[in-house]
Structure 1
Amino acid sequence: MADSADRSRAVLFDMDGVIVDSERYWRTEQPDHIFPATLAGEHPDLDETTGMNYREIYDHLDAHYETKISKAEYIEIFDETAREIYSERVGLLDGFHDLVEDLRAAGVPVAIVTSAPPSWHKIVTERFDVDVDETISAEDIDGDGKPAPDIYEYAAGVVDREPGDCLVIEDSKNGIEAGKNAEMAVIAYRSGPNDDTDLSAADAIVESAAELREAIRSRAGR
């Protein structure tokens, strides 16, 4: 781990709903398409599963609801939907490139820490020419997905920082809990689709891209 005298925090960005505005599409595709194709009866509230790895979402649905298709069939539907969303619909967080450039120039490690599999985050990073130090997927680790702390604990080791020297940027209840369970500082980004989500466990809540950039700059180089 880095010497404790190095006080710059690593910044760990969630992808969905933070770097790209995909949650606005997931919040229609899941209740309108994926859940009806997967479940025979009651559907979950979206905050129950948002932020989880999609394979773990099926396991959660299978354990708590009445599934009517196999996990393999569910994965095929979810993957096809994801590829279309990331390839054709999402937009990049305003000012993201300049923010990353400023952080890296200041010696602040920058990573994407996402529940999305590599095939999805590769679409985003290639489409928008995103260049960060590390991109870490829940599928890279032998552990539980968000809200468990495993992925953020793993990320701290990858970027060579103690958990207390990591700043997590999240938009979901599960993601915020994962960051806090890993004993990291968390900024919650409220961007519209998550207006009704309980983000109160975060250390700070921001409501615009400009406010988010300012909060990150002020907290990362402490």
Structure 2
Amino acid sequence: MSVELRAVLFDMDGTLVDTEGMWWEACVAVAAELGLELSEAEIDHVLGRAAEHVAAHLLRRAPSSPAPSSPVPDALSPPAPDARPVPADARPEPADARLTEVGVRLIEAFAERIAEGVTPLPGAIRLLDDLGAAGMPVALVSASPRQIVDMVLRTIGAERFALVVAAEDTVRAKPLPDPYLKAAAALGLDPAVCVAVEDSPTGLAAAHAAGCRVVAVSDAMPVPYDVLIVDSLERVDLPLLRRLAGGRTSVG
């Protein structure tokens, strides 16, 4: 179905600014404080995720996590005949107080790194300014908390965005569609007339589930649905976004 582009919705970390490495470093540091070594196999639990999700993931793995509500066999005790290993993601959620504590620590560690300065990714500022000059509404849809978003906006300019959706603004975070649905609703638009620009599988899933057309800024990411994949925002402009909204997914 061909539609007219009415707004562009941008992810922030890893899409507009080079901060994903900072977030990963912050998560690695906090994991180490909990006695854990974060591996690349856990990237999907870290990149593009809200702090609460990462905190819960770390606490499920941490040796000091509160005991689950149902008994878990001691490592030295013989297992029950039908006992099976409990996957980390299937274990009970940690206690709320501990979850909050680790979530706050993650944001603190991230903010420490953001305070040293962030770098806009190639093509980001030019694209934002071109959209602004054309009168195209632009929104920021981030999994980061407002504290972090506000710090980044000092670099990329809050005036470039008609609205901002941060982690606190929805009950459910990416990869669920709520942040993109909220942004489209706040603009008074159907998500189908919006193009979302994302860089992580988590964000792409959220934008796709919301019903947006999607640009994936990535040079190596398998995507299970129809999106436009580019290796840099330098290859994106308003005519391309309009073609995408109209149902065409080629760069040329």
| Interval containing the TM-score (normalised by the shorter chain) | 0.7 to 0.9
Closer, same or farther in 2 for the Cα pair 1:154/1:55, shift >3 Å?
Answer: same
Q: TM-score, normalised by structure 1?
A: 0.82
Secondary structure of the 2:126 match is: helix
The superposition leaves residues 89-137 of structure 1 with CA deviations (integer Å, 9 ceiling, x where unpaired) of: 4201234333223213323210000011111110111233342111111
Closer, same or farther in 2 for the Cα pair 1:144/1:198, shift >3 Å?
Answer: same
In angstroms, what is the RMSD of aligned CA positions? 2.6
Whole-Å separation in 1 of the counterparts to 2:20 and 2:11: 12
Q: Contact 1:187–1:203 at 8 Å: present in 2 too?
A: yes
Match of 1:158 among 186, 191, 203: 186
Q: Contact 2:22–2:114 at 8 Å: present in 1 too?
A: no
Paired residues in the alignment total 209
Query: Is the counterpart of residue 169 in structure 1 residue 167 in structure 2?
Result: no
Closer, same or farther in 2 for the Cα pair 1:202/1:122, shift >3 Å?
Answer: farther
Which structure 2 residue ranges, 5 or more long, are not aligned? 66-97, 247-252
Q: Contact 2:9–2:196 at 8 Å: present in 1 too?
A: yes
The superposition leaves residues 159-203 of structure 1 with CA deviations (integer Å, 9 ceiling, x where unpaired) of: 221110111111111100001111111111126xxx4x4345351
Whole-Å separation in 1 of the counterparts to 2:189 and 2:16: 22
Secondary structure of the 2:115 match is: helix
- With 40-49 and 151-160 compared, the bigger mean Cα shift is at 40-49
Whole-Å separation in 1 of the counterparts to 2:177 and 2:211: 8
What is the Cα deviation at residue 41 of structure 1?
7.3
Whole-Å separation in 1 of the counterparts to 2:113 and 2:62: 27
Query: Is the counterpart of residue 136 in structure 1 residue 165 in structure 2?
Result: yes
Which structure 1 residue ranges, 5 or more long, are not aligned? none
Match of 1:218 in 2: 240
Closer, same or farther in 2 for the Cα pair 1:6/1:179, shift >3 Å?
Answer: closer
Q: Contact 1:87–1:127 at 8 Å: present in 2 too?
A: no
Whole-Å separation in 1 of the counterparts to 2:108 and 2:140: 22
Closer, same or farther in 2 for the Cα pair 1:57/1:200, shift >3 Å?
Answer: same
Match of 1:45 in 2: 42
The superposition leaves residues 141-161 of structure 1 with CA deviations (integer Å, 9 ceiling, x where unpaired) of: 2x3101101111111101221
- With 164-173 and 37-46 compared, the bigger mean Cα shift is at 37-46
Match of 2:130 among 99, 102, 112: 102
What is the Cα deviation at residue 29 of structure 1?
3.6
Secondary structure of the 1:123 match is: helix
Secondary structure of the 2:195 match is: strand
How many percent of aligned residue pairs carry the same amino acid? 28
